[in-house]
Amino acid sequence: MKTFLSTGIKILGLMVASMILLYQNCFAQNPFITSIYTADPSAHVWADGRLYVYPSHDMDPAKGCDLMDRYHVYSTDDMVDWRDEGEIFNASQVSWGRKEGGFMWAPDCAYKDGTYYYYFPHPSETKWNNTWKIGVATSKQPASNFKQAGYIEGLGGDAMIDPSVFVDTDGKAYFYYGGGRMCKGGKLKDNMVELDGEMQDMKGLEDFHEATWVFKRNGIYYLTYADNNPIENQLRYATSSSPLGPWIYRGVYLGTTGCDTNHGSVVEYKGKWYAFYHNKSISNTGKGNLRSICVDLLNFNDDGTIQLVKQTKSGPPSVGTKVFSEKKSVKYEAENATPGGNATIADNTSASGGRYVTNLNADGSYIQFNNIKGKRKGGRTSINIYHSGTSYSRIKLIVNDVDYSYLNALSTGDAANFKGHAYFTVPLNPGKNNTIKLIGGKGNINIDYITVSPVD
């Protein structure tokens, strides 16, 4: 009997483990951010145990890189369940920036002595390409309340972009950036906003283009970057025994991704190494002005060299054990919202039953959710939209009359399949005086319900 019970318990344990694994991986995918277009991912692990990604934001509809703006941050504790932390900074907050705005290109973030430092390239004049500066914003939190702190004197100029900051194990910080086949690095002072000496050429790199990133593993320093491979850039790397080189070129670690650009970062999290990058698999537009960030496992050889990354559609497996979200959310059914234009309420004839809002493909069609409850003091709140659709479509999000532009509603393959999930974090007002409006007119989409979840 004991043997039988023991065997039964083992089988049950395996079944539960399999169910947990299935749940954890059911949302794993590449790109892992699909609601808006993001590029140039900068990944870091902070003291709270979460992994944070600081990407740039390709605005939709695409006009080109001049429209890039409104930085969002994403975080995870298992590499599968990603949380939109919301917008943390935008061009209108840059007092010294070009009056036309835009041009908020690839950023980075660093932490030292209780403060997070957010670095971003931005032109100071209308003639943007030769007026780049490296701006800094600071906060006591990793993904909120950033305030501008000016820019780093002595940096910038013609095509010098893509800031990257590496804080070594001894606490010393180093700054890197580059463009137009030039890569430079140097020390930062303890205040993290001033250079400590002259910037130096990073010697030993082959075919450097842009997108510098530096990390350390087993006492070896690695510098990764995008090359000038025709049509589509690759990601290459070099190694050194010093954070400022000289560097020994090692080769390509991530091939082309379908974009003309390539930009990545490397980080260790919970005992595994990850390569972050972007592609254009969702938008499939031209030269990749609407890009999306991805992540895959990064493996090393015994001698410390990097194996070529295998780019996948599934992404890496979960490194967590959480089965259900801990966030408290409130569900709002679409049939209880106010439809407008051609939007109508329909019955779901599938086995799941229920009702939903359809005909949002027509111009001017919308649904509006009223009396949405914010926290007692308001604050960051994740809006999750559960939808179906048979083709790629977009829906405009308006919250309390603020236009947050378009969210992607990816195809679920069936109008009755409401497993589509678009999410976006916005600030809500205290109490129940919030409104959420979803405007259609950009493809076929049906809305089943939304959930509203506090982030803080």
Break the chain into its structural domains and give their ranges.
29-297, 330-454
Residue 353 in tokens: 């039953």
Instruction: Look at residue 14 in the predicted model and tell me its pLDDT.
Output: 39
Q: What is the pLDDT of residues 306-324, one digit of tens each?
A: 999 999 999 999 998 755 4
pLDDT value at residue 375: 86
The pTM assigned to this predicted structure is 0.91
Dump pLDDT digits (tens) for 217-271.
999 999 999 999 988 999 999 999 999 999 999 999 999 999 989 999 999 999 9
Tokens of 90: 């935008």
Per-residue pLDDT 10s for the chain (456 aa) are 444 344 444 444 433 343 333 333 345 799 999 999 999 999 999 999 999 999 999 998 777 778 899 999 999 999 999 999 999 999 999 999 999 999 999 999 999 999 999 999 999 999 998 999 999 999 999 999 999 999 999 999 888 999 999 999 999 999 999 998 999 999 999 999 999 999 999 999 999 999 999 999 999 999 999 999 988 999 999 999 999 999 999 999 999 999 989 999 999 999 999 999 999 998 877 655 899 999 999 999 999 999 999 999 999 999 987 554 545 899 999 999 999 999 998 887 664 567 899 989 888 999 999 999 998 888 999 999 999 987 778 999 999 999 999 999 888 887 778 888 899 999 999 999 999 999 998 988 999 999 999 997
Per-residue model confidence (pLDDT) at position 26: 44
pLDDT at position 287: 57
Q: What value, to the nearest 5°, has the Cα angle with vertex 203 and ends 200 and 205? A: 130
CA distance 199 to 361: 54
Task: Show the 3-state SS of the chain.
Answer: CHHHHHHHHHHHHHHHHHHHHHHHHCCCCCCCCCCCEEEEEEEEECCCCCEEEEEEEECCCCCCHHHCCCEEEEEECCCCCEEEEEEEECHHHCCCCCCCCCCCCCCEEEEECCEEEEEEEEECCCCHHHCEEEEEEEECCCCCCCEEEEECCCCCECCCEEEEEEECCCCCEEEEEEECCEEEEEEECCCCCCECCCCEECCCCCCEEEEEEEEEECCEEEEEEEECCCCCCCEEEEEECCCCCCCEEEEEEECCCCCCCCCCEEEEECCEEEEEEEECCCCCCCCCCCCEEEEEECCECCCCCECCCCCCCCCCCCCCCCCCCCCCCEEEEHHHCEEECCCEEEECCCCCCCEEEECCCCCCCEEEEEEECCCCCCEEEEEEEEEEECCCEEEEEEECCEEEEEEEECCCCECCCCCEEEEEEEEECCCCCEEEEEEEEECCCEEEEEEEEECC
Structure tokens at 316: 């890496």
Q: Is 218 left (phi over 0), alpha (psi -120 to 50) or beta?
A: left
The CA radius of gyration of the chain, in Å to the nearest whole number, is 23
| Separation in Å, CA 454 to CA 107, 208, 320, 323, 391 | 26, 43, 22, 19, 31
Q: How much is the pLDDT for 350?
A: 60
pLDDT at position 18: 38
Return the closest-CA partner of residue 375 out of 299, 454, 321.
454
Cα(396)–Cα(67) distance, integer angstroms: 17
What's the pLDDT at 13? Answer: 43
Tokens of 85: 């932390």
List, in order, residues 6 or more apart from 79 with CB less than 8 Å away.
Answer: 28, 51, 269, 274, 295, 315, 316, 317, 318, 319, 320
What dotted CATH number matches 330-454?
A: 2.60.120.260
Sign of the Cα pseudo-torsion (268, 272, 275, 280, in order): negative
* Architecture field, domain 29-297: 5 Propeller (2.115)
**What's the pLDDT tens digit per position in 65-111?**
788 999 999 999 999 999 999 999 999 999 999 999 999 999 999 99
Tokens representing 349 are: 């004839």
* Two tokens, residue 69: 């703006």
